[in-house]
């Protein structure tokens, strides 16, 4: 874990908010997650099984007539039983449509039912519902977020994950990138960014490596052979001569093979095993065997294990129970067989490295001799024939084996995410990412492409320029291309300017300035089209440049004029040669698949929240099941204690022993439909019975004789008398106050009982009558027992039961008496305050009445009208004051 110490030097972890960032290496087969917050500086998020990596996928199954989501290693068992309900290796399906070749996926995942969404993307159909690939990926990410937040709570914090940084292959198309962004933003309150997966490993390597030579760029190839693909990224790491300038990591070239990876190797082992099984059973036809999804899944699981064994051993033994038609299968596969079968694959291992050197972006061409080392990452680089091919291609000394192949990417993506979101203060690190594709447009479906972002362009970036249009007043369209492939058409409406931008108002025409962007996620977009009325200058390219930062590209390349000519004319134009730009309405049409709309996202989020609520309910139920199971085993251990066996009450010990056996069997065979209440009732029953036995043993030394029960009877009678004394005292006090309260027109008893007890006191008044009845009945039973002189004939268990009943009701009544005393004191204090306020109100009324009478008897004069007004105002004020005080 040395990397964490080095990364700690980069990430200052001075939080700019109370939130956390989660870096996710979302791989084809497995995923890793790392959280950053003040409570967890770069801490790996473990799975519920305490593993460092999790399965990239989930399963859906029926639970109590409802849906249960299954994650982690449990997905495999669901897949074997119900292949159609397990959804794995979904990353390559993002942004794809049903028209594309999915044969390879179906071979690796037999039994799944893939359908099309209303957006043209893919979904899995199971249990009467269609789960889009984006929603399933989002569920995976949401589960990682929940585990990260649980880790933060365990560390004593309350930060929540609000940012995601996710690895993405550089070869992902616009649709795939957009689908991954859509999926990552479905978990509520989360924003996300994609990071070039080759750069993530390079960032990790740079931070974990020794000091780099100053002023001399060092070149590396990150060779990542994972489960789904193989990628080679040419990277430059440069330490500037000026020590104050940050370390520079630049993406310089790229090669890839989208089909070469661990899954393809696993499938080859599965094919070898299938051939061996069919050779052992010649009566079974190939097509009949391959029609059994369960058999194929078992074979693929066995092939995956065999592949891993063959990386360290020369042969692997296979043993599959009931592979097909209750036939068991045993076989041995050798490494030689495996390598001979994959000879064609072996020849392609080094091609991505060759392509990364061939497809460079920089001006200087980097040769293989310039490469300092090949950085290996991805689990499939451990396969022996892969390592041999690499060692043959380059000197073994150039293979960097010190990188943690499993966690280098998640370390790097987390650091890059902190940089992009600026969640924490970080030391500068200059990361230069470049596009491996070119992006261009065509206007009005012309054959002439206009380059916007060339291959090797840095991103994020923006570009703005004037569009070449022959008919400047008609609607037009802009086609967007990625790597020569049309993926989006945008129709631009000029309706809003037709009446405003007439030939009279715009004698020199209209210019349309388009602004494009290549975002941090490498999404190519047309951000806006602005119409500009040219009023005085026939050529206002220079002013357009000043206004939009563009206008030059099309003038040079399409209009056939030089930038100097355009700028010269623009410089002579009047200041008002351009009217204020008018943004035009854009209508987007997606050629292949549509991204998720706001409505789509809301529906998916609601569905996910519904499933999450059910998960929480199921989790609570499982917790109660565990609590009951724990209580039962605890009770069984309790029953095995010598003291319980020798001193415990026989009937209760026998009852508890029976309940333990009964409920353990019930948990195993009959508790599937149990509610939380059912489980809690059983836990309470077991706990109370165990507690009762414990109390019996504790009272074993008590005599439980006539003397003890006489004392018990006396204590109970005394408590009843205290309660009765309280009632009498309460009535006497109220009676003594009746005369004073009547003098101020108040009913003392009515006002007393209107006063509610304080909230901090328990509500016992409604239960008091029941407690009193129970106490009286218990005292009657004790009295009958004492008078009958047959106390010695009763069993100790019966006597203990009677004492236990008394102790229970005595405690309740004692508490009730304390509450009554406290309530009475509170009410009497409130009565006193009420009485004082009432006296003050009456006194003020009397004073105002006398003042009114005095003014009425005074002689009339010239100010009589004003006096009447004053008197009226005084009365109104008096009335208002009285009402207010009484309230």
List, for residues 253-262, the tens digit of each pLDDT value.
Answer: 999 999 999 9
Check whether the bond before 460 is cis (ω within 30° of 0). yes
Q: What is the DSSP string of 683-723?
A: HHHHHHHHHHHHHHHHTTT---SHHHHHHHHHHHHHHHHHH
How much is the pLDDT for 639? Answer: 94
Residue 398 has φ and ψ, to the nearest 5°, of -85, -5
Q: Kindly tell me if the per-residue pLDDT of 315 is higher than 80.
A: yes
Which of 3.40.50.1970, 3.90.640.10, 3.40.1410.10, 3.40.1280.10 would CATH assign to domain 262-343?
3.90.640.10
Tokens at 117, concatenated:
């969404």
Could you report the per-residue pLDDT of 50-75, keeping only the tens digit for each?
999 999 999 999 877 788 899 998 99
Closest CA to 440 of 552, 362, 544, 516: 516
- Residue 586 burial (C-beta neighbours within 10 Å; 0-12, 13-18, 19+): middle
- Dihedral through CA 725, CA 727, CA 731, CA 736, nearest 10? 40
R_g over Cα of the chain: 41
- Angle between the N-to-C axes of helices 133-154 and 174-184, in degrees from 0 to 180, rounded to the nearest 10: 40
SS (H, E, C) 636-694: HHHHCCHHHHHHCCHHHHHHHHHHHHHHHHHHHHCCCCCCHHHHHHHHHHHHHHHHHHH
Place of tokens 């406290």: 822
Tokens 């836990």 correspond to 683
- Nearest-angstrom CA–CA distance, 172 and 263: 19
> Is a pLDDT exceeding 60 seen at residue 433?
yes
CA distance 579 to 508: 12
Give the model's confidence band at 716: pLDDT under 50 very low, under 70 low, under 90 confident, else very high.
very high
Whether the Cβ atoms of residue 705 and residue 789 lie closer than 8 Å to each other: no
CB atoms within 10 A of CB 774: 17
Structure tokens at 76: 């495999």
Candidate CATH numbers 2.40.50, 2.60.34, 1.10.287, 1.10.357; the one for domain 439-596: 2.60.34
Highest average pLDDT, of 550-564, 607-621, 759-773, 859-873, comes from: 607-621
Per the DSSP assignment, residues forming a β-bridge with 235 are 220, 251
Residue 882 binned pLDDT confidence (cut-offs 50, 70, 90) = very low
Q: Give me the pLDDT at residue 757, please.
A: 82
Which among 252, 273, 197 has a CA at the least distance from the CA of 228? Answer: 197
Task: Specify the CATH architecture of the domain 2-9+21-260+351-423.
Answer: 2-Layer Sandwich (3.30)
Q: Indicate the DSSP class of residue 371.
A: E
Pairwise CA distance, residues 349 & 343, whole Å: 10
Two tokens, residue 531: 């119409």
pLDDT confidence band for 543 (50 / 70 / 90): low
Residue pair 589/491 in contact by the 8 Å Cβ criterion: yes
pLDDT beyond 90 at 764: no
List CB contacts of 838: < 8 A, sequence separation 6 or more: 744, 745, 746, 886
Residue 702: both structure tokens together: 């008590």
> In this predicted model, what pLDDT tens digit does every residue of 221-265 receive, in sequence order?
999 999 999 999 999 999 999 988 999 999 999 999 999 999 999
Residue 759 class from Cβ within 10 Å (0-12 exposed, 13-18 middle, 19+ buried)? exposed
Sign of the torsion angle spanned by Cα atoms 73, 334, 321, 283: positive
Q: How confident is the model at residue 397 (pLDDT cuts 50, 70, 90)?
A: confident
pLDDT, tens only, 605-657: 999 999 999 888 888 998 999 999 999 999 999 999 999 999 999 999 999 99
Task: Report d(CA 268, CA 263) in Å as an integer.
Answer: 9
Name which of 516, 518, 507 is nearest 443 in CA terms: 516
Q: Where are the domains of the chain?
A: 2-9+21-260+351-423, 262-343, 439-596, 599-698, 706-855
Q: What's the farthest any 2 CA atoms get from each other in the chain?
A: 133
Closest CA to 796 of 661, 648, 669: 648
Using CB atoms within 10 Å of the CB of residue 544, give its burial: 0 to 12 exposed, 13 to 18 middle, 19+ buried: buried
Burial class (CB in 10 A: 0-12, 13-18, 19+), 228: buried
3-class DSSP state of 285: coil
- Tell which wins on pLDDT, 524 or 850: 524
Would the pLDDT of 538 be above 60?
no
Whether residue 565 is predicted with pLDDT greater than 50 in this model: the reply is no
pLDDT score of 98 more than 80: yes
170-179, 197-206, 270-279, 855-864, range with the lowest pLDDT: 855-864
CB atoms within 10 A of CB 265: 25
**Element (DSSP H or E) covering residue 280:** helix 262-280
State the residue for tokens 């507690």: 691
Neighbours of 395 (CB within 10 A): 10
CATH class of 599-698: mainly alpha
Stretch 742-768: mean pLDDT, rounded?
85
Q: What mean pLDDT comes out for the span 832-856?
A: 88
Whether the CB-CB separation of 162 and 189 falls below 8 Å is answered with: yes
pLDDT for the residue 552: 45
Residues near 324 by Cβ (< 8 Å), separated by ≥ 6?
277, 281, 284, 289, 292, 295
b/e per residue, 663-676, with b = 16+ CB within 10 A?
bbebbeeebeebee
How does DSSP classify residue 822? Answer: H
**312 and 353 in contact (C-beta within 8 Å)?**
no
As a whole number, mean pLDDT of residues 464-474 equals 84
| Three-state helix/strand/coil letters over 334-352 | EHHHHHHHCHHHHCCCCHH
Is pLDDT of 763 > 90?
no
Whether the domain at 262-343 and the domain at 599-698 fall into the same CATH topology: no
The predicted-structure confidence for 510-523, as pLDDT tens digits, reads as follows 899 999 999 999 99
Q: In this model, does residue 871 exceed pLDDT 60?
A: no
pLDDT classification of 7: cutoffs 50, 70, 90: very low
pLDDT at residue 861 is higher than 60: no
Asked whether the predicted pLDDT for residue 211 surpasses 70, the reply is yes
Q: Is the pLDDT of residue 849 over 90?
A: no
Could you give the angle at the alpha carbon of 717 between the alpha carbons of 715 and 723, nearest 5°? 105
Q: What is the pLDDT of residues 17-38, one digit of tens each?
A: 568 999 999 999 999 999 999 8
Alpha-carbon distance 284 to 278, whole Å? 7
Residue 365: how many other CB atoms lie within 10 Å: 10
Question: Does the pLDDT of residue 559 top 60, yes or no?
Answer: no
**Which is more confidently placed, 551 or 135?**
135
Average pLDDT, the chain: 87
> Which strands form 218-225's sheet, in the order they lie side by side?
399-400, 371-377, 218-225, 230-238, 248-257, 430-432
Q: What percent of the chain has pLDDT over 70?
A: 89
Exposed, middle or buried: residue 146 (CB in 10 Å: 0-12, 13-18, 19+)? middle
Look-up: residue for tokens 């009485």? 835
Query: pLDDT at residue 93 above 70?
Result: yes
User: Distance of CA 856 to CAs 358, 873, 881, Å?
Assistant: 112, 14, 21
The predicted pLDDT at position 503 comes to: 83
DSSP structure class, residue 227: S
807-823 confidence digits (pLDDT tens): 999 999 999 999 999 99
Of the chain, the percentage scoring pLDDT greater than 90 comes to: 70
Helix, strand or coil, per DSSP, at residue 481: strand
pLDDT at position 486 = 97
State residue 184's pLDDT score.
Answer: 95
């Amino acid at each position: 874990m040395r990397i964490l110490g080095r990364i700690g030097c980069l990430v200052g972890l001075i939080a700019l908010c109370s939130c956390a960032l989660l870096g996710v290496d979302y791989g084809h087969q497995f995923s890793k997650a790392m959280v950053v917050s003040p409570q967890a500086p770069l801490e790996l998020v473990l799975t519920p099984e305490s593993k460092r990596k999790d399965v990239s996928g989930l399963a859906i199954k029926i639970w109590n007539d409802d849906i249960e989501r299954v994650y982690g290693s449990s997905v495999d068992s669901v897949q074997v039983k119900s292949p159609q309900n397990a959804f794995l290796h979904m990353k390559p399906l993002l942004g794809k449509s049903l028209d594309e070749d999915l044969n390879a996926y179906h071979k690796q995942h037999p039994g799944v039912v893939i359908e099309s969404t209303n957006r043209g993307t893919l979904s899995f159909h199971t249990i009467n519902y269609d789960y889009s690939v984006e929603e399933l990926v989002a569920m995976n990410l949401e589960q990682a977020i929940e585990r990260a937040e649980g880790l933060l709570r365990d560390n004593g914090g309350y930060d929540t994950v609000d940012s995601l940084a996710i690895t993405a292959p550089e070869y992902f198309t616009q649709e795939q990138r957009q689908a991954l962004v859509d999926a990552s933003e479905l978990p509520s309150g989360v924003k996300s960014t994609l990071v070039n997966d080759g750069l993530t490993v390079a960032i990790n390597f740079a931070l974990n490596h020794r000091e780099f030579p100053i002023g001399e760029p060092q070149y590396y190839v990150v060779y990542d052979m994972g489960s789904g693909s193989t990628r080679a990224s040419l990277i430059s790491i440069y330490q500037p001569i000026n020590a104050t300038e940050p370390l520079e990591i630049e993406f310089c070239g790229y090669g890839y093979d989208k089909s070469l990876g661990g899954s393809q190797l696993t499938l080859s082992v599965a094919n070898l095993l299938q051939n061996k099984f069919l050779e052992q059973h010649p009566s079974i036809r190939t097509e009949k065997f391959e029609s059994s999804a369960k058999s194929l899944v078992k074979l693929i699981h066995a092939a995956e294990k065999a592949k891993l064994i063959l990386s360290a051993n020369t042969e692997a033994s296979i043993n599959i129970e009931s592979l097909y038609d209750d036939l068991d299968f045993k076989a041995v596969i050798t490494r030689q067989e495996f390598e001979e079968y994959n000879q064609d694959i072996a020849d392609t291992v080094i091609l991505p490295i060759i392509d990364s050197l061939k497809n460079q972006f920089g001006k200087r061409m980097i040769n293989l001799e310039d490469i300092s080392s090949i950085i290996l990452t991805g689990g499939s680089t451990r396969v022996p024939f892969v390592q041999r091919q690499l060692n043959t291609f380059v000197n073994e000394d150039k293979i960097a084996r010190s990188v943690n192949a499993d966690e280098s990417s998640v370390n790097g993506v987390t650091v890059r995410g902190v940089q992009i979101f600026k969640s924490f203060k970080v030391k500068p690190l200059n990361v230069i990412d470049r596009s491996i594709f070119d992006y261009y447009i065509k206007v009005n479906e012309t054959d002439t492409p206009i380059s916007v972002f060339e291959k090797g362009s840095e991103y994020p970036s923006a570009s703005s320029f004037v569009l070449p249009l022959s008919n400047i007043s008609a609607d037009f369209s802009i086609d967007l291309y990625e790597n020569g492939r049309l993926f989006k058409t945008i129709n631009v409406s000029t309706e809003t300017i037709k009446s405003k931008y007439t030939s009279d108002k715009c004698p020199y025409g209209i210019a349309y300035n388009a602004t494009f962007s290549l975002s941090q996620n490498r999404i190519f977009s047309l951000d806006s089209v602005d119409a500009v009325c040219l009023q005085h200058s026939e050529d206002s390219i220079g002013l357009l440049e000043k206004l939009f930062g563009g206008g030059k590209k099309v003038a040079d390349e399409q209009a056939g004029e030089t930038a100097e000519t355009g700028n010269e004319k623009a410089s002579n134009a009047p200041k008002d040669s351009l009217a204020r730009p008018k943004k035009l309405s854009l209508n987007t049409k997606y050629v292949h698949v549509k991204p998720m709309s706001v409505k789509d996202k809301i529906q998916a989020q609601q569905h996910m929240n519904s499933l999450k609520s059910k998960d929480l309910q199921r989790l609570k139920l499982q917790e109660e099941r565990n609590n009951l199971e724990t209580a039962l085993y605890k009770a069984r251990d309790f029953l095995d204690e010598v003291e319980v066996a020798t001193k415990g009450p026989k009937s209760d010990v026998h009852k508890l022993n029976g309940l333990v056996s009964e409920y353990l069997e019930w948990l195993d065979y009959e508790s599937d439909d149990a509610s939380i209440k059912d489980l809690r009732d059983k836990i309470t029953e077991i706990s109370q019975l165990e507690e009762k036995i414990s109390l019996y043993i504790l009272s074993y030394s008590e005599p439980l004789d006539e003397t003890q029960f006489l004392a018990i009877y006396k204590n109970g009678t005394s408590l009843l008398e205290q309660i009765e004394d309280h009632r009498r005292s309460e009535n006497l006090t109220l009676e003594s106050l009746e005369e004073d309260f009547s003098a101020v027109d108040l009913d003392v008893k009515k006002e007393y009982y209107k006063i509610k007890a304080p909230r901090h006191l328990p509500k016992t008044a409604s239960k008091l009558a029941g407690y009193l009845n129970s106490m009286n009945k218990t005292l009657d039973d004790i009295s009958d027992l004492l008078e009958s002189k047959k106390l010695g004939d009763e069993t100790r268990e019966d006597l203990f039961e009677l004492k236990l009943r008394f102790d229970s009701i005595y405690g309740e009544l004692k508490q009730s008496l304390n509450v009554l005393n406290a309530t009475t004191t509170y009410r009497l204090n409130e009565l006193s305050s009420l009485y004082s306020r009432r006296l003050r109100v009456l006194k003020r009324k009397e004073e105002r009445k006398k003042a009114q009478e005095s003014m009425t008897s005074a002689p009339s004069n010239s100010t009589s009208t004003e006096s009447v007004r004053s008197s009226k105002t005084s009365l109104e004020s008096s009335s208002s004051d009285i009402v207010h005080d009484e309230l």
